[in-house]
Structure 1
Amino acid sequence: MRNRFAFQPRYFLFWLVFFVSTKAVFLLYHFPKAAALPAGSLPRVFGYGLRLDASATAYLSLVPFLLLVIGSALPPRFFPTRLLQFYTAVLGVVVAFFAVADLELYRAWGFRLDATPLQYLDSPAEMAASAGSAPLLVMGSMLAGVLVLGWWLYQKIVGPIPTLPPGFGRGRAVLASVLYLALLIVPLRGGVQQIPINQSDVYFSSVPFANHAALNLPWNVVNGLLLSDGGPNPYQFLPDSVAARTVRQLYAPGLAADTAAAPLLRTARPNVLFIILESFTGKFVGSIGGEPGVTPNLDSLARTGVLFTNIYAAGDRSQKGLVALLSGYPSQPTTSIIKYPRKTEGLPHLNRSLEAVGYRSHYYYGGELSFANMKSYLVAAGYDQFTERADFPLRQQNSKWGAQDHVLFDRVLQDLRTQPAPFFVTAFTLSSHEPFEIPIPRQFPGTDETALFRNSVYYADWALGRFLHTARQQPWWDNTLLVLVADHGHPLPGNDANDTPRKFRIPLMLAGGALRPAARGRVITTIGSQTDVAATLLTQLRLPTASYTWSHDLLRPLRQPFAFYCFTDGFGMVTPAGTVTYDNVARRVIARDSTVATAQVRQGQAYEQVSFGEFLAK
């Protein structure tokens, strides 16, 4: 028979069982990954994850346990039964919603739900557009199923709260309830060890999926929200002096640096048309070794431009790519500097550098610039004009994101007729973002997500080709440098793991009438990063690059060319020797080519430590 004093342990047990059940749902939803785990991994997922589950359970139990202390001191008619039930119901709905949303987010992003998606709460339309390819009916059914499971578990494990036994005084009841409340300290901390529990305590495997599955979702979300941007630096791998020296050595110039940088431009002050291509993974760009036929216009342009074939995105989100490209600044593993206007105001910016020598500027985007806090960053950069979704007629806002790419390019062409020269015009496409809507017939068969993505990239390339055909006939073309680069890569095609270098490889191309004839058709195979675009461009324009400390000229080879990229929560380091990827939470290598030395791991750690330390200090 249940009694009042069994309520607290029963309530604790309810949340613990619920968390274990949602962990099982996660594994079932990602069954192919779960089935591929090494033998014995599944029991360890639950075993190692139990401490974090218990910690999250203890946090959720604090309010009910405290209410029970208060209720035990009051007459029975004032006992807060309904308040306890309401609290549990609200939390149950929130946890169930996050658990179900995480199923698809993990498939798309490769990491468990944390604070990252919450950055987009101020742009609900864009969030909905991003989820356009998710199986909403399946997700809705699963949410209903998880809610029913939670209700059933509560009825079976907790049930109604009995009154006090006859003759049992309220003072004794309060004392017993306080003791239960005090006992929560142990699971809150994850045990009696000196250091409270954290994510790394549940990481047990060399397979990232196993570690991710062991995490407790609410704990992970709240931990992400509470992480301070003021320090201390969580990526303290080396003594600061050693890390700083290692990074300086990474930027040491090669022996041929002074002779390798022949000018590419016919003039020092060309117009600059900077086009950022949404999700243009190198896997679809034939000219850099990707799938042929998806980007015929980009591939054709490569034959008359300067093509860089070994460039890697600095991060995996648009807002990270934007800062890397326009400010030459590294990405952060679990956040983005663009979230902090106070910090981005201190960044260098291509627009500011060009503005200082007389360039006029305009930024174009078919969607809403407020998305992911991009507008505050761009306003701080000092663009003269902005064109975004609201500036297009409603009939031209023909996708969930806003204006499709051909509409965007038509607007750019229209405005460039009267744009004062020299100009710095930046245009950011959007049609190759989920849900991959296109206004032209599909070129490739299939209705799966990869086929939709392939067709959206083809459409964006089609829109680009249409734009270039008209642009070449304009009077400004002969004095214009065209910069074409992706904001980031994509897991598709191939569903690459979150850390895989293939996911981060992107195209970079310089073209346009301002190129010297001798530069046309040049192919640069040097390994580099998005962060290097700024210094490369400014050097060709004969402008200072000293403030772009994380950017180097791709035409002046380093002693050891490299590219560093971030994912949640880890990094990749690419050099001619090969690639190593590293898990910051588990503090272990995820994958390493056999030709990669341990020194390269240290180089990546040093880069992560110093760059994040600078981010904290801004």
Structure 2
Amino acid sequence: MRNRFAFQPRYFLFWLVYFVVTKAAFLLYHAAKTAALPAGSVARIFGYGLRLDASATAYLSVVPFLVFAVGSALPARWFPRRLLSFYSAVLGVVVAFFTVADLELYRTWGFRLDATPLQYLNSPGEMAASAGSAPLLLLTGILAGLLGLGWWLYKKIVGPIPDLPPHFGRARAVLASVLYLALLVVPLRGGLQQIPINQSDVYFSALPFANHAALNVPWNVAQTLLLSDNGPNPYQFMPDSVATRTVQQLYAPASALPDTTRLLRTSRPNVLFIILESFTGKLVASTGGETNVTPNLDSLARTGVCFTNIYAAGDRSQKGLVALLSGYPSQPATSIIKYPRKTEHLPHLCRSLEQVGYKSHYYYGGELAFANMKSYLVAAGYDQFTERADFARSEQNSKWGAHDHVLFDRVLRDLQAQPTPFFVTAFTLSSHEPFEIPIPRKFKGTDETALFRNSVYYTDWALGRFLRSARQQPWWDNTLLVLVADHGHTLPGNDPNESYRKFRIPLVLAGGALRPEARGRVYGQIASQTDIAATLLRQLQLPTTGYVWSHDLLQPLRRPFAFYCFSDGFGMVSPTGVVTFDNVPRKVIKSDTLVTKEQLRQGQAFEQASFEDFLRK
């Protein structure tokens, strides 16, 4: 017969063993990455990860230990056995679900599950669409297996709770159970050291995958949920005054003279701002990518103004929106768009243009509520919105929203009656997972890379179809067309989450409002997605004072650079190369040969200063 007072250590052991099992499931699911690890890495993953597993176990054990202590003071018939079983069953389902969701999330996004996906809960349809390429049957089977294994482990390790022995008084029973409860403090903190455990304590390798595999998913989710959006700044590398001064030096122009390059025939053209979902530079020939995937965009690049070295500020659509329309940098481990009270203080192209008489309209084939985008766009002051509910069901794909050619058709039809000058923003979606397209595939293959490549080709096809009709419209000759991606993509090539190749995107300016002598120009300087706002406003001869993180692309910097964020780290690009940095262990992931310590310091200063600005918003 089991000893009643072994319940608490048995309960702790159950969760610890279960977390080891989930870690093994992660390594098996990503078997190719696991097999590529150096010898001994798998054992170190379990060894280093055990402290965080024990911390998560302790947190999950607090309530049962407390209930057990209270129950020990009650008569046997009132002991809350069912409450303990119910609590454990609910937690088991939650942990198993997090584990399975994390398996596919890591494959797609390159970081372990944290609080990020929770910002999509108000749009479950879009969440499902994002998982459209996931092997749902396999994941369902893994979920069922984890649930069944958890139930079996609970029965074997924990089992039923015996009654209190007749000779054992309740006061002694309460004292014993309270002592076990108090002992949880040690694993909760990860040991007896001064600073409580955090993710960096389980990082041991120069390979990000090995470090990520050592993390505990429930602990990671809870920790990011508890992060404060008002400080203190976790990215403190130097005194704030030094960080501010370093960033100011980054924005120093190469010449004291203002740039006089005029690309436009007029200072008040219509502006048609097209944001292309996931259009990585790897698939755009005009930015050095594959040929024949985006022939229409490449044609525009040859006859318009092409920028070949632009980097996205972040890796999600909501971050790209803020970078493009507000000229505001992305934040690691969070996004300002989650906080409407903060986005209300951001500058916005729509508001800047509204002040000089522009009328605005925002088009998106999906649901604007996704990722809290609508609150940001409403605060920006758009006059009208067109979204998924405004399109017939027959015009939509199975999961995400209206096909891109349908979206362009609506824009084309509406522009016939749109007051001028206008600022119209259209955001495509067909090149988002699950990559469903309504035309025959151009490229062979059914793997995810082939599906993605075909979806980008389709969006480009829809763009070309739109442009052929748009050039015949009376508004075309006085219109500036801005075409840019919201972010890049790991495909093709399955680039690591931090790779600069993942963040390189196309930017093309075209349309009838361009001066003839500006057509065909190519600008190759390194720059950021955030710089587009200031560039556009300068061409329209409008003030840019509120766009402090945005720089005119036509006024070269003394030290050209691009800064981007990925999960909890950053990349800093300059003419000498790229350095990437992981904030958790505070270590460089990769640094090109010619990159200096000064460049790393500049990246740290930019992250510190921009996050401090985010906290103050």
Match of 1:115 in 2: 115
Partner of 2:481: 482
The one-letter amino acid paired with 1:525 is G
Q: Indicate whether 1:403 and 2:405 are aligned.
A: no
Distance of 1:68 and 1:280 partners within structure 2: 55
Map Cα deviations across residues 101-129 of structure 1 (whole Å, 9 max, x no partner). 10000000000000001110110000000
Query: Could you report, residue by residue, the CA deviation over 1:220-241 in whole angstroms, capped at 9, with x for unpaired residues?
Result: 0011111010100000011111
What SS does the corresponding residue of 2:132 show, helix, strand or coil? helix
Taking the aligned partners of 2:251 and 2:269, their CA distance within structure 1 comes to 28
Counterpart in 2 of 1:132?
Answer: 132
Partner SS, residue 253 of structure 1: coil
State the partner residue of 2:265. 266
Query: Do the aligned residues in 2 keep the contact of 1:7 with 1:158 (CA within 8 Å)?
Result: yes
Q: Is the 8 A contact 2:397 2:436 kept in 1?
A: no
Uncovered stretches (5+) of structure 1, i.e. residues with no partner: none
Whole-angstrom CA distance in 2 between matches of 1:345 and 1:101: 33
Does 2:451 match 1:452?
Answer: yes
Letter of the 1:528 counterpart: A
CA distance in 2 between partners of 1:114 and 1:40 (Å): 27
CA deviation after TM superposition for structure 1 residue 31, in Å: 1.2
Distance 2:392 2:112 in 1: 38
Shift of 1:397: 2.9
Counterpart residue type for residue 588 of structure 1: K
Partner deviation per Cα, 1:338-395 (whole Å, 9 max, x = no partner): 1111000010000111111111100000111111010110011101111111112232
Partner SS for 2:517? helix
Matched-pair contact (CA < 8 Å) for 1:535–1:552: yes
Q: Which residue number in structure 2 is paired with residue 418 of structure 1?
A: 417
> Quick one: distance in 1 between partners of 2:453 and 2:269?
34
Q: Counterpart of 1:198? A: 198
CA distance in 1, matches of 2:444, 2:256: 48
Whole-Å Cα distance in 1 between the matches of residues 384 and 466 of structure 2?
21
1:613 and 1:47 map into 2 onto residues whose CA distance is 36
The amino acid of 2:596's aligned partner reads A
Contact 1:257–1:556 (8 Å) recurs in 2: no
Stretches (4+) displaced over 4 A: none
Conservation of the 8 A alpha-carbon contact between 1:565 and 1:573: yes
- SS of 2:341's partner is helix
Answer yes or no: is 1:37 the counterpart of 2:37.
yes
Moved more, 159-168 or 72-81: 159-168
Partner of 2:96: 96
How far has the Cα of 1:148 moved from its partner?
1.2
Separation in structure 1 between the aligned mates of residue 396 and residue 111 of structure 2, nearest angstrom: 32
Task: Give the residue type in structure 1 aligned to 2:261.
Answer: A
Q: Which amino acid aligns with 1:30?
A: H
SS in 1 for 2:119: helix
Which letter does structure 1 place at the counterpart of 2:181?
Answer: L
Measured in 2, the distance between the counterparts of 1:256 and 1:288 equals 30
Q: Is the 8 A contact 2:304 2:510 kept in 1?
A: yes
Report the CA distance shift for 1:64/1:594 in structure 2 as closer, same or farther (over 3 A).
same
Q: Which moved more, 1:245-254 or 1:193-202?
A: 193-202
Q: How does 1:507-522 map to 2 (within 5 A)?
A: 507-522=506-521
SS in 1 for 2:449: helix
Pick closer, same or farther for the CA change 1:33–1:257 going to 2, 3 Å: farther
Residue identity matched to 2:551: H
| Paired letter, 2:404 | D
SS at match of 1:132: coil
1:367 matched to which residue of 2?
366
Q: What amino acid is aligned across from residue 521 of structure 1 in structure 2?
A: G
Counterpart position of 1:470? 469
CA distance in structure 1 between the aligned counterparts of 2:257 and 2:159, rounded to whole angstroms: 74
Written as runs of structure 1 = structure 2, the 5 A alignment for 1:28-427 is 28-255=28-255, 258-259=258-259, 261-427=260-426
Cα distance in 2, alignment partners of residues 17 and 378 from structure 1: 47
Counterpart residue number, 2:595: 596
In the alignment, the residues of structure 1 paired with residue 615 and residue 36 of structure 2 have an alpha-carbon distance, to the nearest angstrom, of 39
Report the alpha carbon displacement of residue 512 of structure 1 after superposing the two structures with TM: 0.3
CA RMSD of aligned residues (A): 0.9
Greater mean deviation of Cα atoms: 186-195 or 108-117: 186-195
Q: Aligned to 1:303, what secondary structure does the other structure show?
A: helix
The CA deviation string for residues 135-158 of structure 1, in whole angstroms up to 9 with x for no partner, is: 000000000111111111111111
Q: Residues 555-576 of structure 1: CA distance to partner in whole angstroms, max 9, x if unpaired?
A: 1000011000000100000000
Name the CA distance, whole Å, in 1 between partners of 2:382 and 2:376: 10
Residue number in structure 2 paired with 1:525: 524
Contact kept, 8 Å, 2:397 with 2:437, in 1: the verdict is: no
Q: Give me the whole-angstrom Cα distance separating, in 1, the residues matched to 2:516 and 2:215.
A: 56
What's the secondary structure of 2:361's corresponding residue?
strand
What amino acid is the match of 1:228? S
- Do 1:569 and 1:583's aligned partners in 2 also have CA atoms closer than 8 Å? yes
Q: Which residue of 2 aligns with 1:583?
A: 582
**Native 8 Å contact 1:314 1:531 kept in 2:** yes
SS of the equivalent of 1:363 reads strand
Measured in 1, the distance between the counterparts of 2:141 and 2:302 equals: 51
| 1:469-512 deviations in Å (ceiling 9; x for gaps) | 00000000000000000000000111111000000000000000
Which residue of the partner structure matches residue 606 of structure 1? 605
For residue 83 of structure 1, report the CA deviation from its aligned partner: 0.9
Whether the aligned pair in 2 keeps the contact of 1:302 and 1:521 (CA below 8 Å) is yes
Distance, in Å, in 2 between the alignment partners of 1:25 and 1:392 is 42
Q: TM-score, normalised by structure 1?
A: 0.99
Partner Cα separation in structure 2 for residue 43 and residue 511 of structure 1: 56
Deviates more, 1:20-29 or 1:390-399: 390-399
> In the alignment, is the contact (CA less than 8 A) between 2:310 and 2:526 conserved in 1?
yes
Separation in 2, partners of 1:324, 1:255: 26
Deviations along 1:31-80, whole A, 9 cap, x unmatched? 11112122222111111111111010000001110111111111111111
Corresponding residue SS for 2:266: coil
Equivalent residues, number: 617
Distance across 2 between alignment mates of 1:498 and 1:397: 31
Equivalent AA in structure 2 for residue 360 of structure 1 = K
CA distance in 2, matches of 1:378, 1:235: 29
Query: Contact (CA 8 Å) 1:3, 1:165: kept in 2 or not?
Result: no
- TM-score, structure 2 normalization: 0.99
**1: CA distance between counterparts of 2:506 and 2:611?**
26
Q: Any conservation in 1 of the 2:531–2:552 contact (CA below 8 Å)?
A: yes
* Distance (whole Å) between structure 2 residues aligned to residue 400 and residue 411 of structure 1: 20
Deviation at 1:166, TM superposition (A): 3.1
Contact 1:364 1:412 in 2 (8 A): yes
State how far apart, in whole Å, the 1-side matches of 2:7 and 2:509 are. Answer: 68
- Is the CA contact 1:392–1:403 (under 8 Å) kept in the aligned structure 2? yes
For residues 398 and 208 of structure 1, the distance between their equivalents in structure 2, rounded to whole angstroms, comes to: 36
Q: For the residues of structure 2 that align with 1:179 and 1:102, how far apart are their CA atoms?
A: 35
